[in-house]
Amino acid sequence: AEAESAAAPEEVAEEESNEAVEWEHGGKTYFKTGDNLCWEAMEDGARAAMQRVGLEVGPTRLVSSLSPGQRQLLEIARALERNARVLIFDEPTSSLADAETQRLFALVRELKASGVAIVWITHRMNEALELADRVIALRDGKPLMAFSVQGGDTQDQNLLQFFHCARVVQRREVT
């Protein structure tokens, strides 16, 4: 009678495998029930990450359906979910509309305030002066000059514009 009331080992294993399992990997917590990932928990995490950067789309939406600005916000959310402390932007505003650019600038300011280091690569000097704490101007991949920026204003701003204009003049003379 005792053997009849005990569950077969396979049944016990199957029951246990249907319990929710939580594990951490790369600083993130994942959930699994049996052999299946817990999509609801993962979608909730993705939604929270996207909201953190101001991206108001569903986490199941196809990336191909997003605008360039939304794609950038999604990449920033992904990096932040991986606890990135440094973000590198290479000509990030080249394909953005004015409203998307301003939204990105606001997010970059928030990230800077929270301690995330930002490397902003651009040929648009007004962007560098608006966002940067420190500017390094390069010519042909070599440092030309470096200076600190205080609130979008600097004594070296005219000097930077001079070097930028000198580069344009040199190109015209060569061609």
Measured in whole angstroms, the distance separating CA 79 from the mean position of its chain's CA atoms is: 5
**CA dihedral defined by 110, 112, 116, 122, rounded to 10 degrees?**
110
Round to whole Å and give the CA distance between 128 and 108: 12
Inter-residue contact 22 to 31 (CB < 8 Å): yes
Residue type, 14: E
At a CB cut-off of 8 Å and minimum separation 6, what does 49 contact? 77, 78, 80, 81
Quick: pLDDT tens for 27-66: 666 666 666 777 777 888 889 889 988 888 998 899 999 9
The token pair that represents 84 in the structure block: 């990135």
pLDDT for 6: 46
Segments of the chain scoring below 50 in pLDDT: 1-17, 169-170, 172-175
pLDDT for 115: 93
